[in-house]
Amino acid sequence: MSGLNTDPNIAGVDDVYERLIGILDGESVENSLKVALRLNLILMNHVGDRAVIAEALALAASQPRG
């Protein structure tokens, strides 16, 4: 991999979003966070490139919190 791709890159993004919302529906905040963290770790493992993961973490940390 050669760097973090921040361009839109998901076919059917609305369907993916609805699936994510669906797996979190009815969960407590604590359980939702646990699912989100497990998903992140699974996807980081799939990426497998520590530099790209570090870039993504830095980007996420720099985003406005709300």
Tens of pLDDT, residue by residue over 20-53, are 999 999 999 999 999 999 999 999 999 999 999 9
Lowest mean pLDDT among 16-20, 34-38, 61-65: 61-65
Query: What's the confidence (pLDDT) of residue 1?
Result: 52
Residue 55's H or E segment, with its range, is helix 50-62
Range list of H helices, 12-49: 13-24, 29-47
Q: Output phi, psi for 7, to 5 deg.
A: -80, 150
What are the structural domain ranges in the chain? 13-62
Asked if the model's pLDDT at residue 66 lies above 70, the reply is yes
CB 55 within 8 A of CB 4: yes
pLDDT value of residue 8: 93
